[in-house]
Every structure is written in C-alpha cells, then in structure tokens.
Amino acid sequence: MTLLMDATPQVKELYPLPLVPRPWVLSSLFAAFNVVLLVFFSGLFFAFPCRWLAQNGEWVFPVITGPLFALTFFSLVSLNFSDPGILHQGSAEQGPLTVHVVWVNHGAFRLQWCPQCCFHRPPRTYHCPWCNICVEDFDHHCKWVNNCIGHRNFRFFMLLVLSLCLYSGALLVTCLIFLVRTTHLPFSTDKAVAIVVAVPAAGFLVPLSVLLLTQAVSVSSADRTYKVKCRHLHGYNPFDQGCASNWYLAICAPLGPKYMAEAVQLQRVVGPDWTSVPNLHPPMSPSALNPPAPTSGYLPTGKGSPRVW
C-alpha cells in the first residue's frame, strides 16, 4: 500500500470561527412533515380519483401509480436515514501546522484543515454547517430530508428526484384524465380531491424536472452542486473520466467501506500504474519531522504537467 503525503511547514493561515451547532428539532420535524405530506396526498389520490377510474375499468392508472408511490416513499425514507459519507473526527495528534497534498490525474490538491473535525479534509470534502460533520464528496445539504448529500447516498438522491418527477407527472396526468372523463357528471368530492392533488403535483413537477436535469449535467461532467468544488483551473476537471464512466462511478460503482475509525484513514490499494511521491520539501519544523497519521493519495505515472489548486 503506497501513500502520498507532502508535509511542509505552514507559516500562517486564518481559520474560520468554530461553527455553532444549529437546532435540529425544526429541521427534523420539517423532514418528517414532508413524508406525511407525501402519504397524505397519495392517500387522497388513491381513495378518490384513482378508485373511480379503477371501478370503471381503468386499471392501468393504479397499476402505474402504485409502484411509483412505493418507489418514491422508499427512496425518501432511505435518504432520510442514509449515511452521506461521514468522515469521523480525527485524532488529537493531528495538527494544522503541516500541509498535505494529494494528486488526482496530474492535479495537486492541498488538503484543507478542518478545525471542527481535527483532520485535513480530502479533496471534494466539505464540513456541513447544518449537520456539523465532514462529508466525503459533498454535494449539498438537502433540507427536505434533513440530511447531507454525499458520496454514499448520492444515488438515493438521484433515485428520489427521478421517482418524484415520474410520480408527480403520473398524478397530474391521472387527475386530468379523471376530470375529462367526468365532465358530464355533477361536481363531487372526487372532482374536488382530483383538483387538490393535481395543483401541487403540477407545482412540484417543474422545479423537480429542472433539478433532475441540473443533476444529470453535473454527473455527466463529474461536478458537484457545491460551488467551491466547481472551481477548476483552465476548465480542467481532474475528476472527469468521461460521461459513461462518471455515471458508473456516481450510480453503479461499489461504495467501499465506511470510515468508522476515530482517525480518518483514506488508504486504498495502489495499482501498478501509480507511484508514490517523496517529500517535495525538506522538513523545517518538529511537526514536519514527525508527521501524524497521513491522509493517503496517489500520483499517476502518466505524462503531463501537474496543476495545483
């Protein structure tokens, strides 16, 4: 197992003030309210307009909307309780006085020190101010589910957005068809419920479709929503491996083991096309002479000049 670490003394750096933990009761209640809201409107839909269509021989509507509701409910609950890729707090032996650099496809990344979690954050890792945790491959904090979206639950987030788009569209189309089929009938509770369900379905369908399209573009370019991580030198994104590979890594690739240790360890097996890089600068401080447990990185042996962030 080959490791890459560049430890040099750090002269002076200003760190942000410690984050004050935000109250979690209201955000948790809001996430639970969203689950109840989904179940409530779905219950109205299946009990009134969908029931009327099924009783009149239109079984295709409950056959389609039923599995979509189950998929949406499953993805919503799974995302609420999923692990976004939490990197637990490091050991007290680590300190901010050294600079750690890792290389990704000829791009050098200086690991930022997290004063809250006490370790150097890997590339594309961010400390969420709402959850007060560091999340691997951080995308954003979703207030609708009161959870961060990161490396380990990004596929659940995409599944939720996709299922919500399909389910909202199915609700809207079914309610409109029901209203058209019952134009010759007097106004009833079924029609009122169909209107009540169709209005929020139409209201959520447009922003959800925009969100799905935005996320699809981000996945295709191996980018993330968090704006700080989208700054790449000269338009070069070292994490971009092509559209097909990016989708495979984001949706289908194995997630790997969870980081459950007290100190963050990012050690992986190094293939034959990787090589270690020795210290680029001589140690000039006691902390550099005896560095703490390093964060791992790798340098590809291919040709090309490195870029530094």
Q: Encode pLDDT of 5-45 as tens digits.
A: 444 444 344 444 444 445 678 888 999 999 999 999 999 99
- Residue 286: closest CA among 103, 98, 71: 98
Mean pLDDT of the residues in the chain: 77
pLDDT at site 5: 45
**Is pTM, for the whole model, over 0.85?**
no
Q: Are 170 and 65 in contact (CB under 8 A)?
A: yes
Distance CA 296, CA 120 (A): 11
Tell me which DSSP letter residue 252 carries: I
Question: pLDDT tens across 255-269, in order?
Answer: 887 764 443 344 333
pLDDT at site 93: 66
Q: Which of 19-33, 101-115, 225-239 has the lowest mean pLDDT?
A: 225-239
Residue 131 appears among annotated catalytic residues: no
Catalytic residue among 142, 148, 165, 175: 142
At residue 13, the 3 state secondary structure works out as: coil
Tokens 């200003």 -> residue: 14
Question: pLDDT tens across 36-88, in order?
Answer: 999 999 999 999 999 999 999 899 999 999 999 999 999 999 999 999 998 87
**pLDDT above 90 coverage of the chain, percent:** 47
